Amino acid sequence: MKRIAAIALFVAATLITTGTALAQNQAVKANVPFNFSVSGAWLPAGTYTVGSAGLRNKEIQIGNQEKHTGALALGMVDTNDPASGGKLLFHRVGASYFLSEVRYAHSSTKIHLPVSKAEKKARERAMEATEASLRVNENVLIAMN
């Protein structure tokens, strides 16, 4: 009976340790030189720590401790690409920037963020204000440390 209890305790400890290791944050820093939006929250230019936490790292946490600003976003995980440098991908619509993807350094994980209501409205306004032949949307990459 003691042997079964010892084995059960060992298995439980292993599962808890593994779960904790899988749930640890991946965090990187990026200097973003412009104001931008994440899931409807507008953040000022500055140095941000970007990390993932939560179930299967779908949740993005982005914050600037100096300016006491931050946001949370929920995205879709994509692990199909080979590992590369960490990057933030922004959609530029007019003069506004919207965070659309986080790529972690030394990892094949990318997190795609859905298009926010603010970005949809900005696209609609931009389309109304420009000719059909002009380029409205532009992607901007920021390398992370």
What is residue 85's predicted lDDT score, i.e. its pLDDT?
Answer: 73
pLDDT in tens, 12-53: 444 443 333 334 456 778 999 999 999 889 999 999 998 876
**pLDDT tens digit string along 69-82?**
999 888 888 877 66
**Contacts of residue 96, Cβ cutoff 8 Å, sequence gap at least 6:** 36, 37, 118, 119, 122
Tokens of 5: 């209890």
CA 80 – CA 76 distance, rounded (Å): 12
Helices (H), the chain: 2-23, 117-129
pTM above 0.75, yes or no: no
Give 81: exposed, middle or buried? Use CB within 10 Å, 0-12, 13-18, 19+: exposed
**Which tens digit of pLDDT belongs to each residue from 51-72?**
876 655 688 889 998 989 999 8
> Which of 3-7, 76-80, 113-117, 124-128 is most confident?
113-117
The encoded tokens of residue 73 equal 């976003």
